[in-house]
């Protein structure tokens, strides 16, 4: 199985300091849904791993989050692709869970669900916590310069071996080229 793990906000869609709380606020980044479509058409299994502390903060409920994710699935399907699963942490930053990035719990859940080792699985994020969780789980961390990516790169401290790309489309291009 060719598996790829993507963060959501700042990678697939525009991020917001006020949180993405409704489907109308979920706006795909240019080329992102097409990139997912190209990956799935090349037999990659695309999975999303996303912190969603807005649930714990009471900014939106599970019905709103499901509607946001339905929009994501619909737009990707319209482009000819699919997101196989969305894994999320609904906890706040101080809840002490093991699934909130930078901890690798969500990634371990993905490994169990798909019965795979995560060694070398490409994982794309825009924040240091995305990269730390991916590296802790054995994935190959990738930083996109969309969302918070440029700030993350400028701050430094990236896990060893982190690769950098401009956006999700460039990431897909590199994976598809390397697989060819």
Could you tell me how far CA 111 lies from the centroid of its own chain?
A: 15
Q: Is 73 annotated as a binding residue?
A: no
Strand 163-165 versus strand 85-89 pairing type: unpaired
Q: Is 167 annotated as a binding residue?
A: no
| CATH code matching the domain that covers 3-179, chosen among 3.90.1150.10, 1.10.3300.10, 3.40.50.1000, 3.40.47.10 | 3.40.50.1000
Q: Is 97 annotated as a binding residue?
A: yes
Catalytic residues: 7, 9
- Over its length of 180 residues, how does the chain's per-residue pLDDT go in tens digits? 999 999 999 999 999 999 999 999 999 999 999 999 999 999 999 999 999 999 999 999 999 999 999 999 999 999 999 999 999 999 999 999 999 999 999 999 999 999 999 999 999 999 999 999 999 999 999 999 999 999 999 999 999 999 999 999 999 999 999 877
Burial class from Cβ neighbours inside 10 Å (0-12, 13-18, 19+) for residue 37 reads buried
5 strand-pairing partners: 47, 123
Q: Is 130 annotated as a binding residue?
A: no
């Amino acid at each position: 199985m060719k598996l790829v793990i993507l963060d959501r906000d700042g990678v697939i869609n525009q991020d917001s300091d006020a949180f993405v709380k409704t489907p109308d606020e979920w706006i795909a980044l240019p080329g992102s849904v097409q990139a997912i479509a190209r990956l799935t058409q090349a037999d990659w299994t695309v999975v999303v791993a996303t912190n969603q502390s807005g649930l714990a903060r009471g900014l939106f409920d599970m019905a709103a989050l499901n509607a946001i994710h339905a929009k994501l699935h619909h737009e990707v399907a319209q482009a000819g692709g699919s997101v196989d699963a969305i894994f999320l942490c609904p906890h706040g930053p101080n809840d002490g869970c093991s699934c909130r990035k930078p901890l690798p719990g969500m990634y371990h859940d993905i490994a169990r669900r798909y019965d795979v080792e995560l060694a070398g699985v490409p994982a794309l994020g825009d924040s240091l916590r995305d990269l730390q969780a991916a590296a802790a789980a054995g994935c190959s961390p990738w930083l996109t310069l969309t969302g918070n990516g440029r700030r993350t790169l400028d701050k430094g401290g990236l896990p060893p071996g982190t690769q950098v790309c401009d956006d999700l489309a460039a990431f897909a291009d590199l994976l598809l080229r390397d697989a060819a």
